[in-house]
């Protein structure tokens, strides 16, 4: 498989899940500002909407998947024994899909215009308020001492939350959310997550070298 990633973005969630599963997709780095990739060729051929993550499968059709929820869920569903996602058809899965949609729409996509400094003052206040509420909900959920969002098992939802902790770049202060901070520290201690960060840094460095050559 080939996984298209970009530095410090939601593609880290897919890397972490792939690592949890012992998968080693070939990584290709996409520079979201310069628009080049480490393998050359137009990224628009991979995803016309020019965003990561994108996963090219090893099947005959070389199917390409986009959307963080779709890719992380797809990988986890291939390995139900991993416990990274509940099985389809269960209420636990419905709740997981609810949580993943919440993370995508109320967290990840609320950050992006803030990080890119694209908003009016009113827009900044609006999205900041939305993010504070959303992270507050996660913090409250963790208040009973559970290790991860749905209990003691690390799941695709935890990988996604971790990969979109962009509050510093967005200027959103989360210092008061102590349960959330402890939870993120727990996730960051996972070997899968450390490997994702290292692999990403290596790909970014390789891309810079290629551009400089
Ligand atoms: N709907 C997509 C959005 C993915 C997305 O926003 N990707 C960002 C990085 S987290 C990106 O590649 N942005 C590049 C750009 O928009 O220029 C998903 O949920 O995966």
Residues 107 and 12 in one domain: no
In this predicted structure, the answer to whether residue 41 has a pLDDT above a threshold of 90 is: no
Pocket lining for ligand 1, CB < 6 angstroms: 6, 9-10, 32, 50-52, 67-68, 104, 112
Q: Are residues 181 and 128 in the same domain?
A: yes
Condensed to tens digits (0 to 9), the pLDDT of residues 160-205 reads 999 999 999 999 999 999 999 999 999 999 999 999 999 999 999 9
What's the number of domains the chain is made of?
2
The CATH number given to whatever domain includes residue 106 is 1.20.1050.10
- For residues 186 and 203, membership in a common domain is answered with no
pTM of the predicted structure, to 2 decimals: 0.97
For ligand 1, the distance from its centroid to the CA atom of residue 147, given in whole angstroms, is 28
For residue 46, the CA-to-ligand 1 centroid distance in Å is 13
202, 111: one domain: no
Beta bridge partners of 26: 2
Query: Taking a C-beta distance cutoff of 8 angstroms, is the pair 156, 76 a contact?
Result: yes
pLDDT digits (tens, 9 = 90+) for 101-144: 999 999 999 999 999 999 999 999 999 999 999 999 999 999 99
Mean pLDDT over the full length of the chain: 97
107 and 204 inside one domain:
no
Residues 72 and 126 placed together within one structural domain of the fold: no
Minimum-distance ligand 1 atom for the alpha carbon of 163:
10
Please tell me whether residues 111 and 155 are part of one structural domain.
yes
70 Cα nearest atom in ligand 1: 20
Q: Give mean pLDDT, residues 29-36.
A: 94
Same-domain check for residues 171 and 145 = yes
11 and 22 co-located in one domain: yes
My answer on whether 112 and 201 are in the same domain is no
Mutate to test the pocket of ligand 1, among 3, 4, 10 (most ligand atoms within 8 A of CB): 10
- What domain range is 172 assigned to? 85-190
Please give the number of the atom of ligand 1 that sits closest to the Cα of 10. Answer: 10
What's the CA-to-centroid distance between 143 and ligand 1, angstroms? 30
What is the pLDDT confidence band of residue 72, given thresholds at 50, 70 and 90?
A: very high
Sole residue written with tokens 């009973």: 144
Q: Rounded to 5 degrees, what are φ and ψ at 119?
A: -110, 150
Strands (E), the chain: 2-5, 26-29, 54-56, 64-66
Q: Are residues 75 and 127 in the same domain?
A: no
Residues 89 and 185 in one domain: yes
Q: Any idea what the CATH number is for the domain that residue 57 is in?
A: 3.40.30.10
Summarised one tens digit per residue, pLDDT across range 134-151 is: 999 999 999 999 999 999
């Amino acid at each position: 498989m080939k996984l298209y990633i970009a530095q410090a973005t939601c593609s880290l969630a897919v890397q972490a899940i792939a690592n949890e599963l012992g998968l080693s997709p070939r990584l290709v780095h996409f520079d979201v500002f310069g628009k080049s990739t480490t393998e050359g060729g137009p990224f628009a051929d991979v995803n016309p909407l020019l965003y990561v993550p994108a996963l090219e499968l090893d099947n005959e059709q070389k199917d390409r998947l986009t959307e963080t929820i779709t890719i992380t869920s797809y990988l986890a569903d291939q390995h139900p024994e991993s416990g990274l996602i509940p099985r389809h058809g269960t209420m636990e899965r419905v709740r997981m899909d609810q949580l993943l949609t919440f993370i995508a729409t109320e967290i990840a996509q609320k950050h992006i215009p803030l990080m890119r400094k694209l908003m009016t003052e009113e827009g900044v206040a609006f999205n900041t308020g939305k993010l504070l509420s959303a992270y507050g909900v996660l913090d409250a959920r963790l208040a009973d001492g559970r290790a991860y969002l749905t209990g003691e098992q690390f799941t695709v939802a935890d990988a996604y939350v971790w990969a979109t902790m962009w509050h510093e770049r967005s200027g959103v202060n989360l210092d008061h959310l102590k349960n959330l901070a402890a939870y993120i520290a727990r996730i960051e201690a996972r070997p899968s997550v450390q490997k994702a960060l290292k692999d990403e840094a290596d790909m970014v460095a390789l891309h810079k070298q290629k551009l400089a050559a």
